[in-house]
Amino acid sequence: MLGVSAMGGLVLISLSLCLISGEAVDLSEKSQLLELKNAIVDPHNLLSTWKSTNPNHCSWFGITCNLHGRVSELRLPGGNFAKSGSCFSSKYSDLALHGFGIVRDCSSFKKGKSLGGKLSNVIGKFSELMVLSLPFNQIGGELPTGIWGLKNLEVIDVEGNSMTANLSMIDFTHLKNLKVLNLGFNRLFGEIPNSLSDCQDLSVLNLAGNRIEGIVPAFLGNFVKLKGINLSLNRFMGSLMDGFWSNCHVLEHVDLSSNFLNGKIPKSFGNCSKLRTMLLFSNSFSGNLPFELGNLRMLEILDVSRNNLGGIIPTSIGNCLNLSILVLSTDFSDHHRDGSIKDGNFFESSVPLQVAMLPNLKLIWAPNANLDGEFPRNWGDCQALRMVNLAGNHLKGEISGVFENCPNLRFLNVSSNRISGVLDEKLHLGSMTMFDVSRNLMFGSIPEFTIAPFCGLNSLHRFDHETVYLSYFAHKSRLENHLPFSRFTRAMIHDFSDNNFTGSIPLFPMISEFTSLGRTGIDYAFLAGGNMLSGGLFHGNLSKICNNLNGLFINVSNNIISGEIPTNVGVNWKCLKFLDASKNQISGQIPVSLVNLRNLTVLLLNNNQLSGEVPLGRLDLKSGFKFNFSFNNLSGSIAMDRDAINCNRLIGNPLLRRCQFVSLSSVPTQEPWAVGLESLNSTVSSNSNGGKKGMSSFELVLIIVPSVIVIILIALIIVYLYLRKRKPNSAVSGSSAAAGMSSRPPPPPRSSGQPEPLVVFKEIGVELTLDSVVQATGNFTSRNCIGSGGFGSTYRAEISPGTTVAVKRLTIEMCQGLPQFNAEIRSLGRIRHPNLVTLIGYYASSSEMFLVYNYLAGGNLEKFILERSIRVIGFKILHKIALDVANALYFLHDQCKPRILHRDVKPSNILLDEDFNAYLSDFGLARLLDDFETHVTTGVAGTFGYVAPEYALTCHASEKADVYSYGVMLLELISDKRALDSSFSSQENGYTIVSWAVMLRQEGRAQEVFAAGLWEAGAEDILVELLHLGLQCTAESVAMRPTMRQVVRKLKQIQPASEC
């Protein structure tokens, strides 16, 4: 009995100890949670249950405990959670392929409510914690180091906060059980450490949206359990080994987009048999698409746009039977009408038939990708097909009958190709929000398209990875169209422009179909300019349709439309917002009801045969109504108040009093409502081609003859005044020259009395001669000198009142080779780019040589940087300057034939105008003067501090040497230091702004790089991106430097907000 009693006592004691221990643990973790709460800012009182009076901490909001009462899970998703899409159901159990993270438990989600403050290092004391999930809050500060010692952790999910950490310094060796590492969209920097390779159970890795750099470690391709990896929107560089993906048998999602990766796309991607999404866009991958991609039978999304890929599109992609999204290029520049430089892939094949026939294909996007050959005729059972964009290529053939079995097709753009044939009336145009066949070779009539089942603008209501692409491209394409659509309304755009279509304008049955199904409040655009359409402009009654339309936009300019405008147009076409019917044969009067349409904002009727009085109505400037009635037979009288009506929009109406003698040179061609007046100064001819009629001979005589007489009289007066003003001897007297000249002698006097002309590449309205330029510079006197450099001195020269140029007098003694110099300089004179200083002309002889450039009043960038301390300069201006210079170098490196290396990029060679637009000067001079002796030219052109190390050592120049110089300039632009700043004098020899910036970044003091006020003004992420770009450009390794093409792309990606 005694033994039993003793045993019972021991049990009681043990139980008591366990209870005391449990209570102690309970109290310990409770106090730790309260300490955690104290560091968190909780404006919405989400942690109201976290209080000492609540005894059961396992019941607190966001807390889950294990069987031992220890905290095992901390889940506190923030108010921006819904934006990630991860709260939506997905057919994939472990991965939300449309987002950047994992599928999360949304039970504790509080919409619109987030936590702030910091995450206390006390988190490291929860030794049994398995899940740490704090996504999409506003938590900042350092990522606590205590996390990396929690051996039981399986999930770390802090995506979408503002936490900082040097990833290189994190030790992952204790996290053997880690399955999910989601640090996306924070402020991490550094490189991926080798210790991460110890996390062999990792299934999801998301580091997107940080500032992580270095190479992508090879061990990431050996994680056998990895299902999703997202490294997008970082600064990874280098290439991936061909065998990178050796153990990717369960991998479903890869996103390496928006980095600086180069080299070829690894063939080993073909080993990833379960891969569903593959996003590689916005890198610098080159070479061909691997044939092995055809092994990816489960692939759904493939986006390789904005790389440097080429070659043939592999037919093996046709084996990817689940492929729904295929993006080969995303060039939205509309055939680069603005002169911008093409940036993207450049293939050498057509769209393989095997790809077009993919049964689940929903979107194929490949504009301006250099595709050629026949347009695919067979798109298989295209029930799923939604969007096709093959614009701006070289495809030929017909599209008639191709898409009639594709009832869900709502976006078709095959513009700017060589498509011929007629349109098929069975095409379901009423279902298409975008239909664009413009700038092709099509003919026949525009049919009255048949009614078909509508498959809807409202069908994009799901949130999945396919819809993200479909919605984005639809939105982007609408923004690219310059019609004044209402901002918040849906739009349908049907574009037939610039073909050979004949017949009459259809009565828009596609609108009838659309509105009959109750789809109201849309904008509809019918664009058919530049064809041979005939018949009347307004026929039929659209009053019922107009009740359901927000606005109607019509462009039928440059056709042969005739007849009169009906007087009741204001009733039947009340939804009309935009009408361009210019360059036709429309006659009769302009109805007052048309001008007074309440919704009409733009009316272009110029170059027709309209007569009668001008309907004044809303034509005053204050109304905001844009019109152009020029070159008709309108009559009447306009009041002399010039503010009442802009007569430039009524020019060419000889019977119209007061407006018939407006100067041709004053026509505002930049306005969209001045369509048709672009070349008014050089040609006012009628469009007789193809039966199109413009102005009559009588009209031409009335306009041209008085104008020519006036111009001749003005020219004679100017010449007379100029000759009176000139001295008989144009040479400056010896005494005056000696007072203002440098040691170089003035140009010798000439015996001939005739002015010696210059070679002129661009007319400036004043004749340039040797005498006039020398005289305008004061015989190259020092008072007119505005800069000096290795190639010579630059002088300000006012050739005539209001006409000022910059003259660079080359410091070179020409003994021979003048013909070669002439040939070289003439090639430079043909170069034009918006960010290059324009070479107007030059003079070269055995005794004198100078170049004439356009004059820029803003000075150079060197002066701008020096004066920045005395004036406030916003980051937006600095970004603009950086991008302007990058565009100029990109043009010289990639677009010039032959290409040009600048070899002396520095702030003093970058000029600014009064709006801070930047222009690169002295381009081509280093190569031009290589063969001629000067007092500064040796083996290396350039300026110390800006010269790339390899160029200084080997005298071998390359594009990457210019990139280095650009990087130095960029560091100067964002800091308050010069390349060889005086503050560096205490350092060792060779210490430059590059050494200084690298040191500050390595020590975690990046904010000290930036000029006073920049960092404090906000946009820190963008500033650090710019700093990183400058350091990439100045990397010692030539291979690690980006090309200027990549620099331009990166600068466009980090575009500052408008208020910066």
| Mean pLDDT over each residue of the chain, to the nearest integer | 78
Name the residue among 508, 519, 587 with its Cα closest to residue 543: 508
Question: Other C-beta atoms within 10 Å of 387: how many?
Answer: 24
Q: Which of helix, strand or coil describes residue 754?
A: coil
pLDDT band at 320 (very low <50, low <70, confident <90, very high): very high
808 is in an annotated binding site: yes
Residue 251's closest CA among 226, 268, 220? Answer: 226
Examine the pLDDT at 582 and tell me if it is beyond 70: yes
Beta strands 164-166 and 40-41, pairing class: unpaired
Q: Is the model's pLDDT at 252 over the cut of 90? A: yes
- 781-791 burial, b for 16+ CB within 10 Å, e for fewer? beebbebebbb
DSSP symbol at 537? S
Handedness of CA 1016, 1021, 1022, 1025 (dihedral sign): positive
* Calpha distance 630→648 (Å, rounded): 8
State the number of CA atoms in the 13 A half-sphere of 803 facing the CB: 13
Specify the 3-state DSSP secondary structure of 126: coil
Burial of 160 from C-beta contacts in 10 A (0-12 / 13-18 / 19+) = buried
Select, from the ranges 10-14, 568-572, 769-773, the one with the highest average predicted confidence (pLDDT). Answer: 769-773
Chain centre to alpha carbon of residue 3: 87
DSSP per residue, 218-278:
GGGGG-TT--EEE--SSEEEEE--TT--SS-TT--EEE--SSEEEEEPPGGGGG-TT--EE
CB atoms closer than 10 angstroms to residue 146: 15
> Looking at 252-266, 828-842, 978-992, which range is the least confident one?
978-992
- Binned at pLDDT 50, 70 and 90, residue 1016 comes out as confident
State the pLDDT at residue 78.
Answer: 85
CB 915 within 8 A of CB 857: no
Instruction: Provide the angle, in degrees to the nearest 10, between the axes of the packed helices 1044-1053 and 1020-1033.
Output: 180
Which pLDDT belongs to residue 326? Answer: 95
Domains and CATH numbers, the chain: 64-341+357-369+385-391+410-418 (3.80.10.10), 481-495+505-697 (3.80.10), 755-854 (3.30.200.20), 864-1053 (1.10.510.10)
Q: Name the helix (H) or strand (E) containing 910.
A: strand 910-912
| pLDDT score at 903 | 83
pLDDT band at 228 (very low <50, low <70, confident <90, very high): very high
The answer to whether 58 and 115 have CB atoms below 8 angstroms apart is no
Residues near 225 by beta carbon (within 8 Å), at least 6 away in sequence: 179, 200, 201, 202, 203, 250
Residue 808 has pLDDT above 50, yes or no: yes
Q: How far is CA 606 from CA 441, 673, 674, in A?
A: 26, 10, 9
6 pLDDT band (50/70/90 cuts)?
low
pLDDT digits (tens, 9 = 90+) for 878-890: 899 999 999 999 9
> Hey, is 612 helix, strand or coil?
strand
Higher pLDDT, 550 or 814: 550
**pLDDT value at residue 111:** 54
Provide, rounded to the nearest whole percent, the portion of the chain with pLDDT above 70: 71
Q: DSSP readout, 363-432?
A: EEE-TTS--EEEPP----STTS--EEE-TTSEEEEE-TTTSTT-TT--EEE--SSEEEE---TTS-GGG-
What is the predicted pLDDT for the residue at 562?
A: 93
Q: How far apart are CA 218 and CA 241, in angstroms?
A: 8
Which H helix or E strand runs over 500? strand 500-502
pLDDT band for position 654 (cuts 50, 70, 90):
confident
Residue range 759-793, pLDDT digits in tens: 888 888 788 888 888 989 889 888 888 887 767 78
Question: What's the rounded mean pLDDT across residues 558-566?
Answer: 92
> In the chain, pLDDT over 90 holds for what percent of residues?
37
Lowest mean pLDDT among 123-127, 395-399, 624-628: 624-628
pLDDT tier at 470 (50, 70, 90 boundaries)? Answer: low
Q: In the 3-class helix/strand/coil scheme, how is 168-192 assigned residue by residue?
A: HHCCCCCCCCCCEEECCCCEEEECC
Which is more confidently placed, 98 or 220?
Answer: 220
Q: Using CA atoms, how far apart are residues 861 and 919, in angstroms rounded to an integer?
A: 10
What average pLDDT does this structure show over 70-86? Answer: 71
Q: What is the pLDDT of residues 517-555, one digit of tens each?
A: 445 678 888 999 999 999 988 766 666 677 778 888 999
Q: Who has greater pLDDT, 864 or 758?
A: 864
Least confident piece of the model among 341-355, 636-650, 739-753? 739-753
In this structure, what token pair is assigned to residue 5?
């009693």
Question: Residue 317: its pLDDT value, please?
Answer: 96
Tell whether the torsion through CA atoms of 689, 692, 697 and 700 is positive or negative.
Answer: negative
pLDDT at residue 704, rounded to an integer: 61
Question: What pLDDT does residue 680 have?
Answer: 33
Range 854-868 average pLDDT: 86
Which secondary-structure segment (H or E) carries 141? none
Catalytic residue annotation = 904
Contact 287, 265 (CB under 8 A): yes
- The candidate with the shortest Cα–Cα distance to 144, out of 120, 180, 167, is 120
For the segment 568-581, the average pLDDT, to the nearest whole number, is: 86
